[in-house]
Chain A
Amino acid sequence: MAVTAQEPVTRRSAFRRPTAETGIWSWITTVDHKRIGILYWLTAFFFFLVGGIEALLIRVQLSRPENTLLSADAYNQLFTMHGLTMIFFALMPLGAAFFNYLLPLQIGARDVAFPRLNAFSYWVFLSAGIFIYSGVLLGGLPDGGWFNYAPLNLIGPDPTATEAAGQIAVAEANHISRMVFYSIGLQIAGIASLASSVNFIVTILNMRAPGMTLMRLPIFTWATFVTSFLMLFAMPVIGVALWQLMFDVRFGTNFFNPAAGGDPVLWQHMFWLFGHPEVYILILPAFGIVSEVLPVFARKPLFGYSAMVFSLIAIAFLGWGVWAHHMFAAGLGPVANAAFGLSTMFIAVPTGVKIFNWLGTLWGGRIRLTTPLLFGVGLVAMFTIGGLSGVTHSIVPSNYQQTDTYYVVAHFHYVMFGGSIFGLFAGTYYWFPKVTGRLLDDRLGKLHFWLMLIGFNVTFGPMHLLGMDGMPRRIYTYADGMGWNFWNLIETIGAFIIAASIAVFIANLAITRRRGEPAGDDPWDARTVEWMTTSPPPHYNFEEVPQISARDELWHRKYVGGATRPPVRVPAGASPDHDPGESAVDDQAQPAHGPGHTGHADIHMPSPSYYPVIAAAGMPIAGWGVYAGGPVQVALLALGGLLILSGLFGWVLEPSAEEHA
């Protein structure tokens, strides 16, 4: 492990450069965007299952009145962790999984701009998940809700509720540590998002294949681009709020503590200034996915491509001006309420543009009812319901009735589950053959879809009614005789139908892994360039970097005709194993590695690295340092800081790619 300056491989690095190409180390040190995408997907899906189990526990507890399965304390931790897990550790990283895997493929690049930064993002995300869940062994998990309002996040459990003085001290200590896990856990997760947003923005701006102008970008790439900007600007805002919270709970500052002159409403502003852009961070990837899926299965180009692009941008801009619609009940005054109510209604306009464009895409198409299409249509339908209930929230007097009731719970599940999750499953079924070379079983996929659609509506539809009926959210139980028993039981049944649908999906994965139908390069007759390469793609993605001459490049290579006569399939270069034929664009294809170099032996790819993992590992260690006290604190902080710094230095000093011997 010593630095041996003579050896070419270890020249500038403390460790010998990792070389494994298979096995666990090859995955730990990988910098290949496709492998990182797969890691992201698997980890996020694992967290999705954890969050799902938490949801089932919540639903079982609420299935009947005055249930005693869970204590109030356990319930608080469960619903908080359910929300945090789903948002930060399932939906966001599932989006990141698609970004990672697809972005370079869709723009005809061999990797992202900063492959090691990409690996770093993944490991940081994983360490954030491990860190926040480690609280379960150290005094409990965060319990203040996902938005963790002040001063609840400072005061914690009511001290008068516990009799013995000793218990009060324990409860207070537990509360502090839970908030430490909340603030630092999300802080670490935010660093991962920030790093990927920088990476994706640079990749999209700088790594496009020749001819890939911005207005020829696949629409999913546009969604990635816009989402990355939202992350870039939203993460620092919540980052500051989380630091302030950490200083408040752990080091006695007075940011949000009203007793010491702090302003709890400031936390709300900071949280939602991040929080509303965040909901678009959660939905835009799914929007991008369905905008890819619907055209392929309707066999028509995306209706209103430019309107789709500009509505994405409009949503992202307006998304910064609506945050206080989460705070109408905080008493901001009539002017602020009216302004934010109006801006919220405005944001429904570009959202409506998207919905009509999806309908326009399907309209008159030759529709193939495959699983990805079903999930895509599911998104369009379910998200519309959620969007409409969102507009009802924006009417301030009505909002006073709805806020903090199950009506809001219904709203955000229609947008985040009915929207994001359906979209992400559409993407999973659609791109699975590209990633693995095998198709997921379509019959099981349809079973999955219908079970999920039914289960989803049975679970969340009645929440509208319960909310209107005044059932507050975040109560661990309710009295008999409120008239809420029936729908609560139905919702719990619905939750188990959803669980069954997920079981079908997992079975589908397991079966397909062994004997799925081989997919070939382009099983769906798709339109974008990621389908030009093999399934799964080689680690350098493309033999030759494609020359782009049209939006829907691949489709234009496969078909001639279109606007004037019916499209006819030509035998041109859909993939390397097809004869490139006559297609004019093909002769211009860029050689992979400058003139005179062809063939993959010469394609130079970035080398794997240990440093991203090392730097990422330092973060939770430093976090446990904040949690601990005394000398342990100093030791852990020092160790964590040392790991981060040495990881970063080693990283900078080693070259991105080793020279071939």
Chain B
Amino acid sequence: MSDMSAPLPGTDYEHSTSLGLSNNKMAMWTFIGSECLFFGALISTYLIYVGRTNEGPTPAGIYDVPFTSVSTFILLMSSLGMVLALAAIQAGEMRKFRTWILATGLMGATFLAGQFYEFTVFAAEEFNLTTSPFSSSFFVLTGFHGLHVALGILMLLAMWTASMMGRLPQQLHTTVENIGLYWHFVDIVWIIIFTVVYLIPAATTAPG
């Protein structure tokens, strides 16, 4: 991120690191390793509590799987957008890059809007943070995931703005790559959440 300044010997510069991998990228992978445990703990909690519904809604009773499938699809497509954005900046096509980065952010925002809508519907059906261990673990898990998406959108928007102001030259494509890593990770976590939180419990607890 500090490419415009004179290089700090041994930092930030790919060719001078011991392993030849940029520091930023390695930091992102390291951080993602930590995040795996973060979401792992949240998902485990959910799995322990999925059956504890306190006479409140059950997974099969509350989830709208078709709706969530659509928003999941949109989030997945945003990963495609990220890939195309990265390819564009690597190829030096800055306009295309901006288009895709914005599209990625928009898809993320659509997903978030869907989540927000889902939460309001749930609240109207008396399914909220305090209903049951099941509800608590659901909202805290998906809420933290949503927060990660929101942070990702902020970063995408920041990149878009920087690019508009001419501060994201092509050489900075590694920054895009790193943020892309984060974005893909958040998507992959959602695939796990969608499967483990929505699909399997909804199928296994379905009435009849």
Interface residues of A (CB under 8 A from B): 12, 109-111, 113-114, 194, 197-199, 201-202, 205-208, 212, 232-233, 235-237, 239-241, 243-244, 247, 251-255, 260-263, 266, 270, 545, 592-594, 603-606, 645, 649, 652-653, 655-660
A247 to B41, CA, bound (A): 15
B7 touches A255 (CB 8 A): no
Evaluate contact between A240 and B130: CB separation under 8 angstroms.
no
Decide: B26 and A202 in contact? CB cutoff 8 A: yes
Q: Could you say which residues of chain B place their CB within 8 Å of the CB of A232? A: 30, 33-34
Q: Within 8 Å of chain A (Cβ to Cβ): is B31?
A: yes
In the complex, the answer to whether A236 meets B19 with C-beta atoms within 8 Å is no
Q: Which residues of A contact B6 (CB under 8 A)?
A: 604, 657, 659-660
Q: Does B42 contact A (CB under 8 A)?
A: yes
Instruction: Assess the A233–B34 pair: CB atoms within 8 A.
Output: yes
Interface string of B22-55 (1 = CB under 8 A from A): 0100110011011101100110010011001010
Interface centre among B9, B135, B158 (most CB of A within 10 A): B9
| B188 CB within 8 Å of chain A | no
**Contact across chains for A111 and B11 when beta carbons are under 8 A apart:** yes
**Residues in A neighbouring B35, C-beta threshold 8 A:** 236
Specify which chain A residues have a CB less than 8 angstroms from the CB of B38 in the assembled complex. Answer: 236-237, 239-240
Please state if B52 and A261 are interface contacts (CB–CB under 8 Å).
yes
Nearest-neighbour CB distance to chain A for B131, whole angstroms, equals: 8
CA distance A263 to B30 in the complex (A): 32
Is B129 located at the chain interface by the 8 A CB criterion? yes
Complex CA gap A464/B34 in Å reads: 38
Query: With A233-B33, A239-B38 in contact, is A247–B45 under 8 Å at CB?
Result: no
Q: Is B201's beta carbon under 8 Å from chain A?
A: no
The 7 closest A-B pairs by CB, nearest first: A656-B2, A253-B136, A655-B5, A236-B38, A240-B41, A206-B17, A252-B130
6 residue pairs A–B, Cβ–Cβ below 8 Å: A198-B31, A201-B30, A247-B140, A254-B136, A270-B41, A594-B9
CB contacts (< 8 Å) of A202 on chain B: these are 23, 26-27, 30
Interface residues of B in 66-123 (CB under 8 A from A): none
Q: Is B204 an interface residue (CB 8 A)?
A: no
Contact A263 B41 (CB under 8 A): no
1/0 per residue, CB under 8 A from A, across B1-22: the answer is 1101111111110000111010
Give the one of A232, A253, A255 with max B CB within 10 A.
A253
Contact A658 B30 (CB under 8 A): no
Given A113-B11, A207-B18, A239-B38, A657:B5 Cβ within 8 A: yes
Name the distance in Å between A596's Cβ and chain B's nearest Cβ.
13
Judge whether B8 and A236 touch: CB under 8 Å.
Answer: no
Cα separation A263 to B44 with both chains bound (whole Å): 13
Return chain B residues, CB-CB under 8 Å to A656. 1-2, 5, 8, 11-12
Beyond A113-B23, A207-B18, A236-B38: 17 further Cβ-contacts under 8 Å?
Answer: A110-B8, A111-B8, A114-B23, A114-B27, A232-B34, A237-B38, A239-B38, A240-B41, A244-B45, A251-B129, A251-B130, A254-B54, A254-B133, A260-B132, A261-B54, A605-B8, A655-B1
**Beta-carbon contact of B129 and A255 below 8 Å:** no
Most B C-beta atoms less than 10 A away, residue of A207, A240, A251: A240
Would B133 and A263 count as touching, CB distance under 8 A? yes
B140: chain A residues within 8 A (beta carbon): 243-244, 247, 253, 255
B129 contacts A206, C-beta separation under 8 Å: no
Chain B residues contacting A659 (CB-CB under 8 Å) are: 5-6
- Determine if B58 is an interface residue (Cβ-Cβ < 8 Å): no
Contacts of A658 in B (CB 8 A): 5
Contact B132 A240 (CB under 8 A): no
* A208 contacts across to B, CB distance below 8 A: 18
A260-B11 in contact (CB<8A): no
A266 to B18, CA, bound (A): 42
Cα separation A255 to B134 with both chains bound (whole Å): 9
Judge whether B137 is part of the interface by a CB distance below 8 angstroms: yes
**Interface on B for A, CB 8 Å cutoff?**
1-2, 4-12, 17-19, 21, 23, 26-27, 30-31, 33-35, 37-38, 41-42, 45, 48-49, 52, 54, 129-130, 132-133, 135-137, 139-140, 144, 154, 158, 167
Q: Which residues of A contact B139 (CB under 8 A)?
A: 253
Interchain CA distance A74-B137 in the complex, whole Å: 34
Give the complex CA separation of A606 and B33 in angstroms. 27
Cα A653 to Cα B137 in complex, Å, equals 37
Name the A residues within 8 Å of B8 (CB-CB).
Answer: 110-111, 604-606, 656-657
Tell me, in angstroms, the Cα distance from A45 to B44 when the chains sit together.
Answer: 38
Contact status B41-A241, CB under 8 Å: yes
B148 to chain A, nearest CB (A): 13
Chain A min CB distance to B187 (Å): 19
- Nearest CB in chain B to that of A213: its residue: B18
Q: How far is the CB of A640 from chain B (nearest CB, A)?
A: 15
User: Smallest distance from the beta carbon of B18 to chain A beta carbons, Å?
Assistant: 5
Decide: B52 and A266 in contact? CB cutoff 8 A. no
Known: A202-B26, A235-B34, A240-B41. A603 touches B9 (CB 8 A): yes
Shortest CB-to-CB span from B36 to chain A, Å, is: 8
Given contacts A253-B140, A255-B136, contact A109 B27 (CB under 8 A): no
Q: How far is the CA of A570 from the CA of B38 in the complex (A)?
A: 53
A207 touches which of B17, B34, B37, B154 (Cβ 8 Å): B17
Q: Which residue of B lies closest to A205 (CB)?
A: B19
Min distance, Cβ B156 to any Cβ of chain A, angstroms = 13
Q: How far is the CA of A606 from the CA of B23 in the complex (A)?
A: 15
Contacts of B48 in A (CB 8 A): 263, 266
Give B107 Cβ to nearest chain A Cβ, in Å.
Answer: 22
Q: How far does the alpha carbon of A244 sit from the alpha carbon of B43 in the complex, in Å? A: 13
Please name all residues of chain B whose beta carbon is closer than 8 Å to the beta carbon of A237 when the two chains form the complex.
37-38, 41
Residues of B within 8 A of A652 (CB): 1, 158
Chain B residues near A110 (CB-CB < 8 A)? 8-10
CA gap between A250 and B150 in the complex, in Å: 23
Chain A residues, Cβ within 8 Å of B158: 649, 652
Residues of A within 8 A of B31 (CB): 198
Task: Give the shortest distance, in Å, between B46 (CB) and chain A (any CB).
Answer: 11
Nearest B residue (CB) for A206: B17
A657 near B45 with CB under 8 A, answer: no
Nearest A-chain residue to B53, judged by Cβ? A261
CB distance from B205 to the nearest CB of A (A): 16
Determine the distance from Cα of A251 to Cα of B128 in the docked complex, in whole angstroms: 11
A239: chain B residues at CB < 8 Å are 38
Residues of the B chain whose Cβ atoms lie less than 8 Å from the Cβ of A114:
23, 27
With the chains together, A12 CA to B166 CA distance in Å?
12
> A255 to B5, Cβ gap below 8 A?
no
On chain A, the residues within 8 Å of B133 by CB distance are: 254-255, 260-263
Q: State whether A655 and B9 are in contact (beta carbons under 8 Å apart), knowing that A198-B27, A207-B18, A252-B129 are contacts in the complex.
A: no
Q: How far is the CB of A383 from chain B (nearest CB, A)?
A: 28
CB pair A12 B11 closer than 8 Å? no
C-alpha gap A587/B182 in the complex (Å) = 44
User: B45 contacts which chain A residues (CB < 8 A)?
Assistant: 240, 244, 255, 266
B97: shortest Cβ distance to chain A, in Å? Answer: 18
B2: A residues at CB distance < 8 A: 655-657
Residues of A within 8 A of B10 (CB): 109-110, 207, 545
CB distance from A399 to the nearest CB of B (A): 25
Q: Could you say which residues of chain A place their CB within 8 Å of the CB of B34?
A: 194, 197-198, 232-233, 235-236
Name the residue on B nearest A113 (C-beta).
B23
Q: Which residues of the other chain, A, contact B7 by a CB distance below 8 angstroms?
A: 604
Name the distance in Å between B30's Cβ and chain A's nearest Cβ: 5
Residues of A within 8 A of B130 (CB): 251-254
Q: Residue of B at shortest CB range from A255?
A: B136
Measured CB to CB, the nearest residue on chain A to B22 is A206
- Minimum CB–CB distance from B79 to chain A (whole Å) comes to 23
Bound CA–CA A95/B38 (angstroms): 24
CB distance from A605 to the nearest CB of B (A): 7
